[in-house]
Amino acid sequence: GLLASTVSHGDVLLVSRIFEGMGYWLTATSIPLLIYRASSNADRPTVLALWSLFLPTGSLVLMLISGIVLEHFDWRFPWVLTSIMMLLATLAVFVVGRSLPKQAEAAPRGGFLAMVFRKGPLVAALAFGQYAALYFIIAGFLPLIFITDEGFGSLAAASIGGGFILMSMFGSVGASWWNRMGMRFSLLIVIGAGSSAALALLVFNTGLSIELRIFAALALGLLSGLIPSSLFGVIPSLAGSVAAISVMSGMLAQGSALGQLSGPPLAAAAVSHANNWNEATPYMVVL
């Protein structure tokens, strides 16, 4: 990140992003195991569910910070700022990790592939991919739609996009709370996915009022937010062993990455073909 803030050539910036991405995935797949070791049996599903907030929280914080920072500095400063945040996070994880007893977990019979090619983890990774595709279609295109089709200013459009992210965070917190109240994570995933399918019919429908579409987008953010926290919450039960928790986390991360990579381009292709935002709706409902 610090290297990226000093470059003046696009190729070097892309290379630095590759290494930043490697660091991101190493972190995202390792922390769930750290959380598992640092928490009690009763709290593990809840705290793992709350871990799903890391991506929307970071996105929202940086969105808010960047709008202020970029009025006074160039694009390089956010790289420096987030690099400092990463160094502080590194110190926190080091302090917590060092305080935990070292545990040696035996790998399950069959090794790495046996952990990967099981029905539960594969279905969970697929579900996370479908959620990520839908999330990034809405978060990425919604502000653009309101700017280009409805004449919104950039601040108003960004506020709607930020509201969608914020509501998804509330949904993730809600899922962990409802699970503690006795609702199964699998039921919360079904509720989140089913309601998202219904609300997706409204979000990009240009024949409806702006107010209804904004409400549908915020409601979709809230209810779809039940999905990621629930998937993280079932990591211990789907992993089957402590040794497989990082592998399970990696599969969820991989599903999320594939959804992010494939979802927006496929939706954009449908929209571009018909020159109508509503053409993305069937694709979102199927997801």
Model pLDDT for residues 49-78, shown as the tens digit of each residue: 888 888 888 888 887 777 777 778 888 888
And the tokens for 134?
Answer: 């839908």
Placement of tokens 């977990």 in the chain: 105
Residue 79 confidence (pLDDT) above 90? no
Q: Are 200 and 235 in contact (CB under 8 A)?
A: no
**Phi and psi, residue 150, nearest 5°:** -115, -5
What is the arithmetic mean of pLDDT over 118-134? 90
Q: Are 79 and 65 in contact (CB under 8 A)?
A: no
And the tokens for 16?
Answer: 């630095």
Residue 92 confidence (pLDDT) above 70? yes
Q: Look over the chain and give the mean of its residue pLDDT values, rounded to a whole number.
A: 85
Model pLDDT for residues 198-231, shown as the tens digit of each residue: 999 998 888 888 889 899 999 999 999 999 999 9
Interaxial angle between packed helices 226-233 and 210-224, expressed in degrees from 0 to 180 and rounded to the nearest 10: 10
The terminus-to-terminus CA distance of the chain in angstroms comes to: 34
pLDDT of res. 129: 94
Interaxial angle between packed helices 119-148 and 185-203, expressed in degrees from 0 to 180 and rounded to the nearest 10: 30
And the tokens for 37?
Answer: 């070791």
CA-based nearest residue to 224, from 143, 154, 161, 132: 132
Residue 225 CA to residue 103 CA, distance in Å, equals 33
Q: How many CB atoms are located within 10 Å of the residue 19 CB?
A: 12
pTM above 0.85, yes or no: no
CA-based nearest residue to 147, from 155, 138, 137: 155
CA 214, 215, 217, 222 dihedral sign is positive
Residue 148 CA to residue 233 CA, distance in Å, equals 39
And the tokens for 18?
Answer: 């590759």
Interaxial angle between packed helices 54-69 and 76-99, expressed in degrees from 0 to 180 and rounded to the nearest 10: 140
pLDDT of res. 223: 95
What is the arithmetic mean of pLDDT over 11-40? 87
**Phi and psi, residue 83, nearest 5°:** -65, -40
Residue 240 confidence (pLDDT) above 80? no
